[in-house]
């Protein structure tokens, strides 16, 4: 379909709006709870919307790890610099940092890149903020949450419909007959129906008074919170505190100073060793965690999941040797079965022998690929590749080691 890029653009806009819809009322609730006044301005809203857009754009267009990290840090620094140093803007800065952390974290989990869509949990957050605004007697915050929740419902159905359309287009892109006109007509009709339904719901909910119901819900929530925290205090909310009887002052009986025991030097020595080991273990754990986080981020950019199914290693004209080297470096060090490693080594070997102006057809068999790149004495390498492709359960670490030896010593 010609409008796939436009579809992705709409999906990105909806995602940015959804992040703004959740963060903006939450920021207003924090401000009202701390300072007991409402001070949300259009400037704060513009800053949050701009921050969400910048972080989303950087996350989508960054092709290298350094571009991703540098872009996020520059965007975060720029957003914090344009904020004046007074309390409301400090809270806005905290919200910007929250958006920054969400955007960075989205690249650690590979499944977030395809499932980075609005969830009904966001509506739950807005509902809690609405109840909090009722408890704080802030009518403006309640109105903002109500409007944001209705807008979130519209965006949710819109996003769901666009994602279904995108999935259908991607699954049927290569089919002989693709009903593009019918797909567009059905999609527009469904979007129109969703828009009319949500508009009617907005009008209906704005007419029906929901204050008493929300008030009773808020009272029940506050009572449940009091009961829950009363369990930790050891006294219920219904218990009355009785004043303690006055007691006569105790005479000041000063005790003679007790001589301190110097302690055993062996115990002090053992305690120093133990505390040093604890600090070393904690430091090593932090270093390991940081290294794993950066490695996971690096892997999310350069690692290519080859899978373990029965498929041939297609060599496309856009594939490059340095690209496969990064994929191999990011993939082999973080798991993978021996069959996956053998096939990666084979693919890297073929691309290293391919000339820059040479294009290998995807229909070539592995034997024909070796002949095209003039790889001689490749029978054992082909046998290992076929074993990794069809008998992946039988492929062992020794096969991976042997494949590395053949690939390193088999160049012409």
Neighbours of 192 (CB within 10 A): 10
Task: Return d(Cα 200, Cα 207) in angstroms, integer.
Answer: 11
**In which band, very low, low, confident or very high, does the pLDDT at 247 lie, cut at 50, 70 and 90?**
low
Indicate the pTM of the whole model.
Answer: 0.48
Give the pLDDT confidence of 108-121 residue by residue, as tens digits.
654 454 444 445 66
Q: Which residue has the higher pLDDT, 152 or 381?
A: 381
Q: Quote the DSSP letter at residue 174.
A: T
pLDDT above 50: residue 411: no
Q: 303: which DSSP letter?
A: -
Mean pLDDT across the stretch 280-305? Answer: 71
Q: What is the DSSP letter of 208?
A: S
φ/ψ (deg, to 5) at 332: -70, -30
Output the six-digit token pair for 169: 């287009």
What is the C-alpha to C-alpha distance for residues 10 and 379, in angstroms, rounded to an integer? 51
The closest of 18, 2, 3 to 159, measured between CA atoms, is 18
What is the arithmetic mean of pLDDT over 379-389? 87
- Name the residue with higher pLDDT: 33 or 69: 69
Average pLDDT over residues 85-103: 73
- Nearest CA-CA partner of 299 in 101, 109, 59: 109
For the chain, what are the domain ranges?
4-171+182-217, 321-409
Summarize pLDDT for 62-72 with one digit per residue, the tens: 777 777 788 88
How high is the pLDDT of residue 44? 73
Query: What's the confidence (pLDDT) of residue 261?
Result: 57
């Amino acid at each position: 379909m010609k409008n796939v890029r436009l579809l992705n653009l709409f999906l990105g806009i909806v995602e940015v709006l959804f992040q703004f819809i959740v963060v903006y009322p939450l920021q207003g609730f924090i401000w009202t709870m701390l300072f007991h006044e409402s001070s949300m301005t259009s400037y704060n809203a513009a800053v949050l919307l701009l921050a969400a857009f910048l972080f989303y754009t950087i996350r989508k267009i960054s092709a290298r790890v350094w571009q991703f990290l540098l872009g996020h840090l520059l965007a975060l620094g720029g957003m914090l610099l344009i904020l004046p140093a007074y309390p409301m803007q400090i809270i806005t800065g905290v919200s910007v940092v929250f958006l920054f952390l969400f955007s960075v974290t989205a690249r650690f989990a590979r499944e977030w890149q395809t499932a980075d869509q609005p969830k009904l949990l966001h509506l739950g957050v807005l509902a809690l903020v609405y109840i909090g605004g009722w408890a704080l007697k802030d009518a403006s915050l309640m109105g903002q949450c109500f409007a944001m929740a209705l807008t979130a419902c519209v965006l949710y159905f819109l996003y769901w419909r666009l994602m279904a359309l995108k999935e259908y287009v991607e699954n049927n892109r290569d089919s002989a007959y693709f009903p593009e006109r019918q797909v567009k007509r059905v999609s527009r009709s469904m979007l129109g129906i969703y828009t009319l339904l949500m508009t009617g719901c907005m009008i209906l909910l704005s007419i029906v008074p929901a204050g008493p119901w929300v008030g009773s819900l808020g009272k029940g929530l506050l009572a449940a919170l009091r009961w829950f925290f009363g369990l930790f205090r050891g006294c219920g909310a219904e218990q009355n505190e009785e004043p303690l009887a006055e007691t006569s002052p105790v005479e000041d009986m000063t005790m003679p100073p007790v001589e301190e025991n110097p302690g055993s030097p062996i115990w002090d020595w053992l305690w120093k060793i133990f505390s040093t080991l604890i600090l070393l273990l904690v430091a090593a754990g932090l270093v390991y965690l940081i290294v794993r986080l950066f490695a996971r981020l690096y892997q999310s950019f350069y690692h290519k999941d080859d899978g373990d199914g029965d498929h041939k290693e297609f060599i496309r004209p856009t594939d490059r040797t340095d690209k496969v080297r990064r994929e191999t470096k990011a993939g082999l060090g973080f798991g993978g079965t021996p069959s996956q490693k053998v096939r990666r080594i084979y693919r890297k070997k073929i691309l290293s022998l391919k000339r820059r102006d040479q294009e290998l057809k995807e229909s070539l068999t592995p034997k024909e690929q070796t002949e095209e790149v003039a790889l001689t004495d490749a029978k054992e390498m082909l046998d290992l590749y076929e074993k990794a492709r069809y008998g992946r359960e039988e492929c062992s670490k020794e096969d991976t080691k042997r494949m590395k030896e053949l690939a390193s010593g088999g160049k012409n």
